[in-house]
Chains A and B, each alone.
Chain A
Amino acid sequence: MNNCDCASSTCVHVMEEDFDVKELYDELSADAIAGAVVQFVGLVRDFNQGLMVTGLTLEHYPGMTENALKDIARQAKERWALRRVTIIHRVGELELNDQIVYVGVSAQHREAAFAACDYIMDYLKNRAPFWKKENTIEGERWVTQEEKDVEALNKW
């Protein structure tokens, strides 16, 4: 269940449940004006910052998180001619290879959809109040922010 039946053209969800990419695609593509849909899915990776990872816990700041994501979507819409933006971020306990984050963008043309999807992920990584705590083979640890993620904002 994606709960993504929003009438508005921006859809933001922060939830524990998994999401179905096909369902989300169907919602974005059911639009005669949209000629392009770009989707990004982030997954729990097995190796991070030098250690084998077995799972992670995602904490967030309820209220601020949703507002931060809506704000990022709004900024992307101001910058490019987009049709729909869907952002989903999971919280709670996640296992290896689980889906963590989804960004889907539809637009008339692919250039806007590609750029906006990239932009939204770059800003999400720097502005949305989520924190990852990894379970590694050497115990639990909080993930630290990476310089490359901060630098990614320079391209915008």
Chain B
Amino acid sequence: MADQIKVLLFAQFKERLGCGEIMWDASPNLTLDGLKQQLLAQSEQWQSALEGQCLMALNQTVSQGQTPVNAGDEVALFPPVTGG
């Protein structure tokens, strides 16, 4: 979808939500923080799913909340990493 944003969720977030990927409508002047607020505003399920520290990546690079998000972007939300 050219006018949408792909949103990916990982680990606890994905498990609590029961879903690892959604498509989200882009809106003007949207930032990563703005997108996260829109997602949280959907339901209590989203609020509890994203509980705890939440990192965000834009197009596979960890990015700050004020980073602009546009249609066609891939955004990922995930807890702190625990590999190694």
By a beta-carbon cutoff of 8 Å, the part of chain A in contact with chain B is 42, 58-61, 63-64, 67, 89, 100-101, 121, 124-133, 142-145, 149
Residues of A near B8 (CB, < 8 A) are: 61
Give 15 new A-B contacts, CB below 8 A, not counting A124-B84, A125-B83, A129-B10: A58-B83, A61-B76, A89-B83, A121-B84, A125-B82, A127-B81, A130-B84, A131-B12, A131-B81, A132-B82, A132-B83, A142-B11, A142-B12, A144-B82, A149-B84
A92 to chain B, nearest CB (A): 13
Contact call A142/B79, Cβ cutoff below 8 A: yes
Chain A contacts for B15, CB-based, 8 A: 142
Asked if B78 is at the interface (CB within 8 A of a chain A CB), the reply is yes
Distance between Cα atoms of A125 and B84 in the complex (Å): 5
The reply to whether A130 and B82 contact each other, CB–CB distance below 8 Å, is yes
Q: In the bound complex, how far is the Cα of B83 from the Cα of A122, in angstroms?
A: 10
C-alpha spacing A63/B79, complex, angstroms: 17
- Judging by beta carbons under 8 Å apart, are B83 and A130 in contact? yes
> Which residues of the other chain, A, contact B81 by a CB distance below 8 angstroms?
125-131, 145
CA distance A145 to B61 in the complex (A): 19
In chain B between 61 and 84, which residues have their CB closer than 8 angstroms to a CB of chain A? 61-62, 76, 78-84
- A67 close to B84 (CB less than 8 A): no
- Please state if B82 and A131 are interface contacts (CB–CB under 8 Å): yes
Q: Shortest distance in angstroms between A90's beta carbon and chain B's nearest beta carbon?
A: 10
Residues of B contacting A143 in the complex (Cβ-Cβ under 8 angstroms): 82
Q: Which residue of B lies closest to A121 (CB)?
A: B84
**How many angstroms between the C-alpha atoms of A59 and B20 in the bound complex?**
12
CB of B29 closer than 8 Å to a CB of A: no
Tally of A-B Cβ pairs under 8 angstroms: 69
Which 5 pairs of residues, A with B, have the shortest CB-CB distance? Answer: A130-B83, A131-B11, A145-B80, A64-B60, A125-B84
Residues of chain B lying within 8 A (CB to CB) of residue A89: 83-84
A-B contact pairs, 17 of them (CB 8 A): A58-B83, A64-B57, A64-B60, A64-B76, A121-B84, A125-B81, A126-B81, A128-B81, A129-B81, A130-B82, A130-B84, A131-B11, A131-B12, A131-B79, A132-B82, A133-B11, A149-B84
Contact B82 A60 (CB under 8 A): no
